[in-house]
Amino acid sequence: MAAGIAIVVAGHGRHYLVEDAQGRRHLGHPRGKKSEAVVGDRVRFEVTGDASAVIEAIEPRRNLLFRQDAWKTKAFAANLDRLLVWLAVDPSFGESQLARALIAAESAGIATTVVLNKTDLAGHAEQAARLGPYRAMGYEVVELSLKTRRDAAQERLAPLLKGATTLVLGPSGAGKSSLINALLPDAGAQVGEISRALNSGRHTTTSSQWYWLDREHGSALIDSPGFQSFGLQHVEPASLVACMPDLRAHAGDCRFYNCTHRREPGCAVVSAVQQGAISESRWRIYRELLGEHDATRDEGPRRA
Ligand code: GDP
Ligand code: ZN
């Protein structure tokens, strides 16, 4: 029987679509009860029948991007080279969601690029200004309009995506499907194949999906829903600042080594906020995240 290493390209409950080194796809099921594999995982499999396989084990991961609230953990994908946070001028994005995605990526050691799409719309300057602090703290921000310049995706993003595995995350309506269609002429076919294989209706919207960007299978894009309610329970309060470059730049100058940067005397983060070196909204988001940790602690452990 054939066996080897395959990439998880889609998953739905205990059903997985895995692709072997020859590019053949198999419907895979985990050997045990648990289904812990996520899109992007390399798994050891054994073929059991015509286009079906058993997933024996998950290979060690380079990284894993996930969100976690008090009740559950949801993985977006594993083994990523880059996170692309996909935003638009309209619908306007929530800065808290953006900040949370960036913190999750920092915490997992994944590079991030922010895209602002729909620069053709009124309100462009205002939305671009909201990203100013993110540019200043070192994130690359790409502004484009897929509507007026359809080749913008190829021109501006293809070099970034080349030879890499990239996860795209963003609110609905921002143009993620337009991006996928612009980059992959056969996107519809790839989506259809996954849905048929997993028998999950016309669209598998609940989980991440892997798309090859090139014939050589060197570059991949993973589309994932779930930009809302981005819980960060897995990022401990003590490591939060390390995942926020603008706060991190000042936190070493606080009077107390264990300063929480809320209202301690001699807090360098607070004075940076007062002097405008850190934006008010970033400090508010930081305190919001600390508050979510306090809330779970007050209510006692909830983890099963
Ligand atoms: P998704 O929900 O993120 O997948 O977004 P879609 O790709 O379906 O796009 C949502 C809407 O925005 C569609 O009507 C697109 O035609 C439109 N859209 C996408 N890119 C642009 C753009 O650059 N400018 C404008 N004005 N509209 C765009
Ligand atoms: Zn401080």
pLDDT value of position 35: 81
From 156, 191, 223, give the residue that closes a domain.
223
- From the CA of 267, the nearest ligand is 2
User: Same domain for 86 and 215?
Assistant: yes
Task: Give phi and psi for 148, each to the nearest 5.
Answer: -85, -25
Q: Is residue 134 part of a domain?
A: yes
Q: Is residue 13 part of a domain?
A: yes
pLDDT value of position 67: 95
Per-10-residue mean pLDDT of the chain, 304 residues long, equals 89 92 92 89 92 93 95 94 98 96 98 98 98 98 94 92 97 94 79 72 67 93 88 94 98 96 97 98 97 76 46
User: Same domain for 105 and 199?
Assistant: yes
- List residues, by chain if needed, whose CB lies under 5 Å from ion ligand 2: 254, 259, 261, 267, 269
From 189, 223, 257, give the residue that closes a domain.
223
User: Same domain for 180 and 41?
Assistant: no
- From the CA of 278, the nearest ligand is 2
How many whole angstroms from its chain centre is CA 56? 26
- Total count of residues recorded for the chain: 304
**Ligand 1, CB within 6 Å, residue ranges:** 117-118, 120-121, 145-147, 172-178
Mutate to test the pocket of ligand 1, among 178, 209, 223 (most ligand atoms within 8 A of CB): 178
Q: How far is the CA of 291 from the centre of ligand 2 (A)?
A: 16
What residue owns the CA closest to ligand 1's atom 10? 173
According to DSSP, the residues that pair with 34 across neighbouring strands are: none
The total of structural domains in the chain comes to 3
Q: How far is the CA of 27 from the centre of ligand 2 (A)?
A: 52
How many whole angstroms from its chain centre is CA 57? 24
User: Same domain for 209 and 243?
Assistant: no
Domain that holds residue 244: 237-299
CATH number at residue 248: 1.10.40.50
